[in-house]
């Protein structure tokens, strides 16, 4: 079969790209670069499969791992082998990471995320980068504004400083000398201000300094270190020894 000059140009171009093990894809306004020890480009499926010291880059975003599959038209990168995603002010690492349209990240297995001064850990995290919003499930952990929140599931708005924890909730704050537990916790705070409010509900137990509170609903305010209850409750106070 005889190839036209245009067809030969296309074939030579693809061979040249694959032979260097470095691919740059113009699937979006900002090009994607894929580098690896081994690589396969499927022109019909529009996919790149890479293995060995994989590096996927776009603009200020960089992802490293051991194996990767990039879907060009869908703009989806899936990496395994303990990948690490970095961009200014953000670090994401896990056993497996999927990045969708540059902004949506789904991380599985030993997930750790650091967004500026806030930290997230869990078995799985579904995270929207531009909104600084994530859902953490399985051994969920959030550290923000001096509070540590543990729960079965945490929904977090990092930019707005808001978090909802459900299932076996535990709260710890060294600054406020607070230990608390309950079925659900809701924490809200104005960014940059010390006006945080924590509301715990469901079988609540809270200890602050030398006082202990038990009840079904407790509100803790950081500004004046006050605790307020909303149901029949018990407070146990240990007077200071002079």
Find where tokens 């499930």 sit.
137
* Concatenated DSSP letters of 26-44: -SSSS-EEEE-SEEEEETT
How much of the chain exceeds pLDDT 70, in percent? 86
pLDDT for 22 equals 52
pLDDT at 67 over 80: yes
pLDDT for 240 equals 60
pLDDT for 30 equals 82
Is the model more confident about 185 or about 8?
185
pLDDT at 175 over 60: yes
Domains for the chain: give ranges and CATH numbers: 117-237 (2.60.450.10)
pLDDT for 15 equals 38
Cα 32 versus chain centre, distance: 22
pLDDT for 16 equals 36
pLDDT tens-digit readout, 211-220: 888 889 888 8
- Averaged pLDDT for residues 178-189: 94
pLDDT for 227 equals 78
What are the strands, taking DSSP E only, across the chain? 22-25, 32-35, 38-42, 47-58, 61-71, 76-80, 84-87, 90-93, 96-100, 104-115, 118-128, 133-144, 147-157, 162-173, 178-188, 197-208, 211-221, 226-229, 234-237
pLDDT at 109 over 90: yes
pLDDT band at 8 (very low <50, low <70, confident <90, very high): very low
- Averaged pLDDT for residues 147-154: 96
> Across the chain, what does the average pLDDT equal?
85
pLDDT at 62 over 80: yes
pTM for this predicted structure:
0.82
- Averaged pLDDT for residues 39-67: 95
- Averaged pLDDT for residues 158-177: 91
pLDDT for 19 equals 38
User: Exposed, middle or buried: residue 67 (CB in 10 Å: 0-12, 13-18, 19+)?
Assistant: middle
Is the model more confident about 240 or about 9?
240
């Amino acid at each position: 079969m005889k190839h036209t000059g245009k067809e030969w140009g296309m074939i030579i171009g693809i061979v040249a790209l694959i032979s260097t093990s470095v691919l740059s894809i113009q699937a979006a306004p900002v090009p994607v670069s894929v580098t690896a020890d081994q690589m396969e480009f499927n022109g019909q499926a529009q996919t790149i499969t890479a293995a060995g010291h994989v590096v996927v880059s776009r603009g200020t975003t960089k992802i490293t791992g051991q194996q990767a599959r990039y879907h060009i038209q869908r703009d989806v990168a899936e990496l395994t082998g303990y990948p690490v995603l970095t961009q200014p002010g953000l670090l994401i690492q896990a056993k497996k990471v999927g990045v969708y349209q540059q902004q949506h990240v789904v991380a599985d297995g030993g997930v750790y995320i650091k967004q500026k001064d806030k930290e997230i850990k869990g078995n799985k995290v579904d995270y929207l980068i531009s909104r600084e919003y994530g859902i953490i499930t399985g051994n969920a952990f959030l550290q923000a504004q001096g509070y540590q929140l543990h729960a079965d599931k945490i929904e977090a708005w990092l930019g707005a400083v808001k978090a909802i924890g459900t299932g076996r909730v535990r709260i710890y704050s060294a600054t406020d000398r607070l230990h608390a537990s309950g079925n659900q916790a809701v924490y809200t705070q104005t960014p940059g201000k010390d006006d945080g409010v924590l509301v715990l509900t469901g079988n609540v137990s809270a200890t602050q300094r030398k006082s202990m509170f038990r009840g079904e609903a407790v509100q803790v305010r950081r500004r004046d270190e006050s605790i307020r209850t909303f149901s029949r409750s018990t407070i146990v106070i240990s007077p200071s020894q002079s």
